[in-house]
Amino acid sequence: MTQLQKGVQKVQNCSRPLLAIRKLTKYFGGLKAVANFDLDLNQGELVGLIGPNGAGKTTVFNLITGMYIPTTGSIKFQGEEITGLKPHKIARLGITRTFQNIRLFPELTVLDNVRIAYHHHTQCGLFHTLFRTRTFRHEEQELTQKAKEFLAIFGLETRWNEISKNLPYGEQRRLEIARALVSEPKLLLLDEPAAGMNPFEVNQLMQLIAWIRDRFRLTILLIEHQMRVVMGICERVVVMDFGEIIAQGKPEEVQNDPKVIEAYLGKVTVAG
């Protein structure tokens, strides 16, 4: 590839959305979970994905991260087709996520939760590992060092030796987000990060999300039920119902959209 072509591609990369989803459809048997879902995410955006229970929001997450294979449709990340890739490949390309019901490695320490996420940066093979060579010790030292520094960014450094399931709920959430950011992804998917949090914790979480977005130059797609979070930090909101997008736009626009109100509250029939 010539210098010029490289330059051209770079320019194209800038104008092209980070994530482009086209006509994404997923059936579970006869059940249509997601249908004709189109979404573009631009570099640096913070987008909220909302909708009533069972609308298909988490299914969209599972499709993007490769945990489900779409029935039809395409997902492009940085211009590359990622549909059908294994989840760990997609994670390594730069899309990571958190889960609705926190999924840490419960019996392991806080440090190990983070060190596992560093694993695909390690080089040591079985030989070095089994025989504890100098290379292995060196790499292990570096890994531990990096993981501890990373925990410090999230204010978890004093907790490193704690078993992760023993952490308070808010810290478990923070650890899960930290773990998802270890590999420095470009796109972060947060599945109901504020679920089960009290108002104080929610405020902290909103600050955290805004902060990691700048610190890691992230693009964030977020599922959330608490309108305060969605309205407070999202720049754009996509509303789903029955697997389809029914509205999208700025938070305040979407809030007053009759279709959205109908989806959440049911149809208003005026007597007379």
At its nearest, how many Å lie between other proteins and the CB of residue 103?
A: 4
Please say which residue, 103 or 228, places its beta carbon nearer to other proteins.
103
What residue type is assigned to position 15 of the chain? Answer: S
Identified binder of other proteins from the candidate list 167, 179, 194, 245, rule CB under 8 A? 179
**CA-based nearest residue to 188, from 109, 259, 94:** 94
At its nearest, how many Å lie between other proteins and the CB of residue 266?
A: 34
At its nearest, how many Å lie between other proteins and the CB of residue 232?
A: 26
At its nearest, how many Å lie between other proteins and the CB of residue 154?
A: 15
Please say which residue, 115 or 263, places its beta carbon nearer to other proteins.
115
At its nearest, how many Å lie between other proteins and the CB of residue 205?
A: 20
Site string for other proteins, 1-30 (x = CB under 8 A): ------------------------------
Please say which residue, 134 or 267, places its beta carbon nearer to other proteins.
134
Identified binder of other proteins from the candidate list 25, 43, 71, 183, rule CB under 8 A? 183
Cβ atoms of 203 and 228 within 8 Å: the answer is no
Asked if residue 119 binds other proteins (CB under 8 A), the reply is yes
Asked if residue 99 binds other proteins (CB under 8 A), the reply is yes
- Compute and round to an integer the Cα radius of gyration of the chain: 21
Cβ atoms of 37 and 62 within 8 Å: the answer is no
- Give the separation between CA 208 and CA 76, rounded to whole angstroms: 28
- Give the separation between CA 205 and CA 194, rounded to whole angstroms: 7
| Burial (0-12, 13-18, 19+ Cβ within 10 Å), 120 | exposed
- Give the separation between CA 20 and CA 85, rounded to whole angstroms: 16
Number of residues in contact with other proteins, rule: CB under 8 A?
A: 42
Question: What residues numbered 120-149 form the site for other proteins, per CB under 8 A?
Answer: 120, 122, 124, 126, 129-132, 136-137, 139-141, 143-145
- Give the separation between CA 170 and CA 178, rounded to whole angstroms: 12
Cβ atoms of 130 and 102 within 8 Å: the answer is no
Q: Quickly list H helices, 158-256.
A: 169-181, 199-215, 227-233, 251-255
Contact footprint for other proteins (CB under 8 A): 65, 67, 86-88, 91-92, 96-97, 99, 103-108, 112, 115-120, 122, 124, 126, 129-132, 136-137, 139-141, 143-145, 179-180, 182-183
